[in-house]
Chains A and B, each alone.
Chain A
Amino acid sequence: MIEWINAIVQGILLGGLYALFAAGLSLIFGVMRLVNIAHGDLIILAAYLGLSTTILLGVHPFVALLIVMPAMAGIGYILQRGLLNQTLGSDILPPLLVTFGLSVIVQNALLEGYTADPQKLNAGAVETASIAVGGLSLGVLPLLTFGIAIVVIAGLQWIFYSTALGCGFRAVSDNQDIAQLMGLNKAHIYGLAMALALAVTAIAGILLGVRTSFDPAIGGGRLIFGFEAVIIGGLGNIWGTLAGGVILGVAQTIGAKIDPGWQVLAGHIAFLVVLAVRPNGMFPRVEH
């Protein structure tokens, strides 16, 4: 019995990482209806930027966040203003194609720059530390990841609903033309949204790189987990993203408990079941 409880708890904690994968996706879809196929590869890019920072400066991966987060935010802003804004319009196909192309470019650039060898970020003792709670042994790193996910999502919620910038995000999402009339430059607002999304991606990438080894090819899989968490949670609901991540994580760890080979499959099945039963996700945004 305790083993099953353990699987569920580990799944919940894993869900924190998936929520971080999903939060950036959800944010940019919410603001500009852009489905970013390159999102997973940008997570891996952030992990590699973290790797370079730790090697070049000799700092801990979590300290490297101080450099990787602004770097990813800057990349996001430039990417949006320089490329993705040109693809946005009434047709949803151009952004899909362009971000797919971007995904291929990022993957190959990483291959060229870092080779296909798996890499890992070394976070030291925190990786193996654990605390005992009622017969369960909880890893400090998964607990930390889950805590960070809650803080990030609460932060995004606060930005969206309590700041002028968030008001601008929602206004542009509601009606681009009228938002322009208010003096909001939508190209700039979109740039800021992508910057914010990729800053979150930086956190996701570093935590991924500390948790597990990574190579340039694994971005696609992270994209799928992120998508599934967004859809399970309900589009446009920031806290729903965390719930979606947790449901996906628990499904995976329970699947793995039944048979180690079923981990990923169980997650996909949970996703399909939610999609069949609640096509709008478990917690869709309630329209006024």
Chain B
Amino acid sequence: MSDPLLKLSGLDAHYGDFQALFGLDMDIAAGEVIAIIGANGAGKTTLMRSISGLLRNEAAQVTFKGQAIGELRADQVAYAGIALVPEGRQLFPSLSVEENLRLGSTVGRPGPWSLDAVYDLFPILKERRSQASTSLSGGQQQMVAIGRALMSNPELILFDEISLGLAPVIIKSIYDALPSIISGGMTALIVEQDITKALAVSSRVYCLQEGRVSLTGRVEDITRDQITAAYFGVDA
């Protein structure tokens, strides 16, 4: 593997006295799509918060394009080129759909994603552009959340539970859109409860269990039984 785009070296994460991640190591190369799977409480969302800067770490524990970013604030991480699609969409209720999207371009990084490009990807959002973001359906809100992250033209995009709480038909349409999102050479980490969906679009997988990596490998090399064992921490 060439120099990794994102490198985690012994990443620990704490909430007060509670330790949620224990010495995680990961190497993610540019252009890879990685599935992060694991049971509730395994540390997936904590991992997303650590990489995106919402949780601060020791500088050297997170390296992005060779730069130690573990100590940076979330806004500085955004400028570095990492965007997060947070769990539960988390749109700004006071802002319209278009204002939510425009806010994503605050960092002003150059790249293919613009308001028009997002509207091309999700045409329904163009129709709803002036509406309050909270008046949209869950699936449409997820489209705004994805579009908002894309507007920063990130090199690494983190998806935290993109299908959680959405209807199957909506999940399918979002996963149908994923390849065209990622095809621009973007690197993606996909946190997902729906293992089948996640593995279908990913090249490699990390399984977390109680804050540690319990399994990693190329998707085609890993068996269902191995995933089950790593997921639940028991032999299948």
Contacts and interface: CB of A to CB of B under 8 A. Distances in A.
Interface of A: 164, 167-168, 170-171, 173-175, 177-186, 287-288
B92 A183 contact: no
A183 B73 contact: no
Nearest to A236: B94
Contacts of A184: 75, 103, 106
B75 A174 contact: no
B132 A174 contact: no
B53 interface: yes
Interface range on chain B (Cβ under 8 Å from partner): 20 to 34
B173 to A, nearest CB: 24
B104 interface: yes
Given A168-B103, A182-B106, A182-B148, A177 B74 contact: yes
B93 A181 contact: no
B147 to A, nearest CB: 12
Interface string B46-81: 000000111000000000000000000111001100
Nearest to A177: B54
Contacts of A164: 102, 106
B226 interface: no
Interface of B: 52-54, 73-75, 78-79, 83-84, 86, 90, 92-95, 99, 102-104, 106-107, 132-135, 148, 152
Nearest to A188: B75
B95 A171 contact: yes
Contacts of A174: 92-95
A167 B52 contact: no
A183 B95 contact: no
A265 B77 CA distance: 54
19 contacts: A164-B102, A167-B103, A171-B92, A171-B103, A173-B94, A174-B93, A180-B73, A180-B74, A181-B86, A182-B106, A183-B78, A183-B79, A183-B106, A183-B107, A183-B152, A185-B73, A185-B75, A186-B75, A287-B93
B152 A182 contact: yes
B92 A178 contact: yes
A39 to B, nearest CB: 23
A181 B54 CA distance: 8
A146 B134 CA distance: 36
Contacts of B107: 182-183
B47 to A, nearest CB: 15
Contacts of B54: 177, 180-181
Given A170-B95, A184-B106, A288 B75 contact: no
Contact of A167 (B74, B99, B135): B99
A181 B78 contact: yes
Contacts of B133: 288
